[in-house]
Amino acid sequence: MFTKDIVFKVSLLIVLALVGLGIYSPTMLSNLSSLIHTNIITHFGWFYLLAAFSFLILSLVLAFSRYGSIKLGKDYEKPQYSYFGWFSMLFAAGMGIGLIFWGVAEPISHYMNPPEQIAAKSGESAAFSMRYSFLHWGLHPWGIYIIMSLSIAYFSFRRGMPPLISSCFYPLLGDKIYGTPGHIINILAVFATIFGIATSLGLGAMQIQSGLEHVYGLPGTTTFTLIIIAVVTLLFMISTIIGLDRGIQLLSKSNMFLAALLVVFMLIIGPTSYIFNVFVSTLGDYANSILIMSLKTNPFQDFDWTQEWTLFYWAWWIAWSPFVGLFVARISRGRTIKEFILGALFVPTLLTFIWFSVFGGSALNLQMVQGIDITQAVSADVSTALFVVFESFPLSNLVSTVAIVLLLVFFVTSADSATFVLGMMTSDGSLKPPLIKRITWGIIQSSVAAILLVAGGLLALQEMAIAAALPFTFVMLLMCYNLLYALHYEKKEHRQV
């Protein structure tokens, strides 16, 4: 009896055990996550960098290889969305709470606290901050998502298998994907997704709380953050139960429109030519240094900085990849591999660069050119970064409120999508997972976010994301092998699937 729904049961047990530990003793959970995190980063930090770089290189190689003409679907299938619709949804998939949170926070953080050999709060640290923001949010995350989504799309749409991570392992495991090895892979994917999403939800809740405190003077306490999580959880649970899929889609599209409006507003009202200068210059910097940055573990100095930022990001993206991968696979059906990779790699990256140039550039302009010190506020609470910047522009309350609404909607839509994905992953790939599973995962992921916040705040969230991502990195590397095997097999057999 236990073997039925085993992925759901085992994943739930593991996560409940952690949730239970967090409730029983937040300190113990914090210590545990720190211990795991320290060991992983010390021994496997280089592995994350190499893996992420490999995924990016493989993506580019596949795009221009003889496999590029293979369709992600049957040969007669056409893409379901126009280019514009497809690009918008790609960007929405990768964007979200994280981009709003870090759009200002990251450049300013690097500007204030660069690696040792760079003088803090200097021109050099400003250039460094933008370059590394581009690195952390640019091609590498999309390389990671592409490998995941390409594998899922190929095996489910072209090979007719269920849309599960374990399906991508059929070449290596054969029918064992329906047994213990397959279950383990799916459980690892669930585990990675839970903690990847929880990190985003936790960051979102923190920033909503900061925004409300900043704009409306509401309390800036952990309790209030937990209330925000509870309220938003209720909202997306209602949408899940009632089945407001169309409403969520509409909300998501409106949110993208609102985000675009915000960018345009900042571009016009903010230091326009400065922003363009930052964009162009950083693009050149990034292109020039991408190889070095990709593999720089800084073993001789600044290893702590690399641990704190780059390694965390690569782990976070890997933890997010099942969630983003499944979504991106679904919307990319009918496209060729080349079209898919080039579109998914460059277009969202470019839009992300624009976002960072606008918000990060505006923040650096305030700090360096206009002499408004925003670093002090950011040092005290990094989640206030965006709102502190808005204070220096017209209609700051309105713009801040728009940002809060953006965060709220992203929270709801991301959480709703996440419950669907988790439900699907624990229901043998069913596109209509049972409601009870979706509700369970919805409550679980919000609980994990809440408990980690209480246990150790932002740091605890980051540490657990890194821990959850390590086993899944191995899974992704093996996934590359399976994908190459299957593509090579197809070409060799010249077989119409």
Binding residues for another protein, rule: CB under 8 A, are: 155, 159-161, 170-171, 174-175, 482, 485-486, 489-490, 495, 497
CA–CA gap between residue 164 and residue 152 (Å, rounded): 7
Q: How far is the CB of 181 from another protein (least distance, A)?
A: 14
- Rg of the Cα trace of the chain? 22
User: DSSP label at 118?
Assistant: S
Of residues 156 and 367, the one with the C-beta less far from another protein: 156
CA–CA gap between residue 211 and residue 469 (Å, rounded): 30
Structure tokens belonging to residue 272: 């326009």
In Å, how far are 18, 191, 445, 468 from 14, measured between CA atoms? Answer: 7, 8, 13, 12
Structure tokens belonging to residue 116: 């040792």
Q: How far is the CB of 160 from another protein (least distance, A)?
A: 6
Of residues 83 and 489, the one with the C-beta less far from another protein: 489
Of residues 88 and 482, the one with the C-beta less far from another protein: 482
Of residues 40 and 177, the one with the C-beta less far from another protein: 177
Q: How far is the CB of 486 from another protein (least distance, A)?
A: 4
Q: How far is the CB of 145 from another protein (least distance, A)?
A: 22
Of residues 64 and 485, the one with the C-beta less far from another protein: 485
Q: Which residues of 281-310 are buried (b: 16+ CB within 10 A; e: fewer)?
A: ebbebbeeebeebbeebbeeebbebbbbbb
Cα angle: 290, vertex 294, 300; to 5 degrees = 115
Of residues 155 and 355, the one with the C-beta less far from another protein: 155
Q: How far is the CB of 180 from another protein (least distance, A)?
A: 18
How many helical (H) and strand (E) elements, i.e. helices and strands, does the chain have?
A: 18, 0
Three-state SS string across 177-203, please?
HHCHHHHHHHHHHHHHHHHHHHHHHHH
Of residues 448 and 487, the one with the C-beta less far from another protein: 487
Of residues 262 and 486, the one with the C-beta less far from another protein: 486
Instruction: Assess contact for 317 and 98: CB atoms under 8 A.
Output: no
Q: How far is the CB of 488 from another protein (least distance, A)?
A: 9
Q: How far is the CB of 159 from another protein (least distance, A)?
A: 4
Q: Taking Cα atoms as reference points, which of 378, 347, 356, 382 lies closest to residue 285?
A: 356
CA–CA gap between residue 318 and residue 10 (Å, rounded): 21
Largest CA distance in the chain: 67
Structure tokens belonging to residue 351: 């839009």
Q: How far is the CB of 422 from another protein (least distance, A)?
A: 25
User: DSSP label at 441?
Assistant: H
User: 3-state class of 336 per DSSP?
Assistant: strand
Structure tokens belonging to residue 474: 């191995």
Of residues 155 and 387, the one with the C-beta less far from another protein: 155
Structure tokens belonging to residue 443: 């409550």
Of residues 56 and 486, the one with the C-beta less far from another protein: 486
Q: How far is the CB of 472 from another protein (least distance, A)?
A: 22
CA–CA gap between residue 247 and residue 236 (Å, rounded): 11
Q: How far is the CB of 164 from another protein (least distance, A)?
A: 13
